[in-house]
Chains A and B, each alone.
Chain A
Amino acid sequence: MMGALIATYLTATVEWVEAYTIVLAVALSIGWPRALGAAGSALLLLAVLTTIGSLILTMIHDLTILQFIIGVFLTLFGVRWLGKAIARGAGLKKLHDEDAEFAGLRARADIHEARAAWWIAFNGMLLEGLEVWLIVVALGVQTHHTVAASLAAAVALLVVCVAGILARKPLAKVPENTIKFTVGSGILSFGTYWVLESLGYQWPLGDASLLALFAFYALGGLALIRLYRFKSAASGVV
């Protein structure tokens, strides 16, 4: 359970930091009350989606099917995040830069128009929050701790809000790629474990296999980052 809560908290932190950048950029144009109104509306919709998603999943009475569905979603999410983090760690893709993101948003022509800016904040918060929603519902339902997972996401939101109030600028110093790499490895471990277990496979170490999977993905990911960096450097020399 602890691993699921940590994964939820870290996922939420990364997504809320990105959402904060969008809300901050909008707030400087249309003011904090409207920008927070847009963000709050998106959060409300996410809360409704979390409730609906949890209800739909708990209506599946066959636990094996439920475990398979959740396992597949987590595998899709984990492999995507791990792939992205490897690419950014190896320099194949640019690191996510909150300052550049903020500057790009401020340069948009429509951000100074009240209605368009409200939608930018609403959409930004909703899209960033959807990944949090997915993790809260998937990990929460499977571990029977949806409320605890929601609270972990809410605590992450609170921490980002406090940091944002103190910094009053984009939270560019948050090590987003390191967090994405760790979360990607963790979520992919949960996905792998549950997919195979739902198909009838018996893990030799039981729940401890999750730690072995995490170590495998994290160490394998680090090795890939080194390999790709080495290849890039070698091709640069030639």
Chain B
Amino acid sequence: MQGFIKTLFGDKYTLGVAGVCIFVAVALLHSPAAILAGAVLPVTLLGGAAYLARR
């Protein structure tokens, strides 16, 4: 069961990275700078992948 959950959601760090990135994108989409979301989400996710790689 643990393997199943980890496969679906990853560990807490992966969840944290994806959660923060999507939260930032949602916040941007509800701001006057909504057009930037398409650039900011990929940049934050790549930053998240870099963080996960260092762990």
Q: Which of B3, B25, B48 has a CB less than 8 Å from the CB of A195?
A: B25
Q: Does A148 contact B (CB under 8 A)?
A: no
Q: Which of A75, A126, A216, A228 has a CB less than 8 Å from the CB of B18?
A: A75
Given contacts A79-B17, A131-B7, A195-B25, is CB(A217)–CB(B42) below 8 Å?
yes
- By a CB distance below 8 angstroms, the chain B residues around A82 are 49
| A195:B41 contact, CB within 8 angstroms | yes
Q: Does A159 contact B (CB under 8 A)?
A: no
Please give the number of chain A residues whose Cβ is less than 8 angstroms from any Cβ of chain B in the complex.
38
Given contacts A75-B45, A224-B53, is CB(A134)–CB(B8) below 8 Å?
yes
| B22:A213 contact, CB within 8 angstroms | no
- Taking the nearest CB of chain B, how far is it from the CB of A173, in angstroms? 24
Which B residues between 1 and 35 are near A, CB-CB below 8 angstroms? 3-4, 7-10, 14-15, 17-18, 21-22, 25-26, 29, 34
Q: Which of B9, B25, B48, B54 has a CB less than 8 Å from the CB of A87?
A: B54
* Residue in B closest to A129 when the chains form the complex, CB atoms: B7
Q: Which of A76, A87, A192, A200 has a CB less than 8 Å from the CB of B15?
A: A76
| B3:A79 contact, CB within 8 angstroms | no
Complex Cα distance, B49 from A86, in Å, reads 8
Chain A window 117-153, contacts with chain B (Cβ cutoff 8 Å), 1 for yes, 0 for no: 0000001001100110010000000000000000000
- By a CB distance below 8 angstroms, the chain B residues around A188 are 45, 49
- By a CB distance below 8 angstroms, the chain B residues around A51 are none
| A192:B41 contact, CB within 8 angstroms | yes
Q: Which of A131, A195, A221 has the most CB of B within 10 A?
A: A195
- Taking the nearest CB of chain B, how far is it from the CB of A12, in angstroms? 14
Chain A window 139-176, contacts with chain B (Cβ cutoff 8 Å), 1 for yes, 0 for no: 00000000000000000000000000000000000000
Q: Which of B15, B42, B53 has a CB less than 8 Å from the CB of A84?
A: B53
- By a CB distance below 8 angstroms, the chain A residues around B51 are 83
- By a CB distance below 8 angstroms, the chain A residues around B46 are 216-217, 220-221, 224
- By a CB distance below 8 angstroms, the chain A residues around B14 are 76, 79-80, 83
**Chain B residues packing against A (C-beta within 8 Å):** 3-4, 7-10, 14-15, 17-18, 21-22, 25-26, 29, 34, 37-38, 41-42, 45-46, 48-55
For the complex with contacts A79-B10, A79-B14, A217-B49, 6 further pairs of A-B residues with Cβ separation under 8 Å are A80-B10, A83-B50, A196-B25, A199-B26, A217-B45, A224-B49
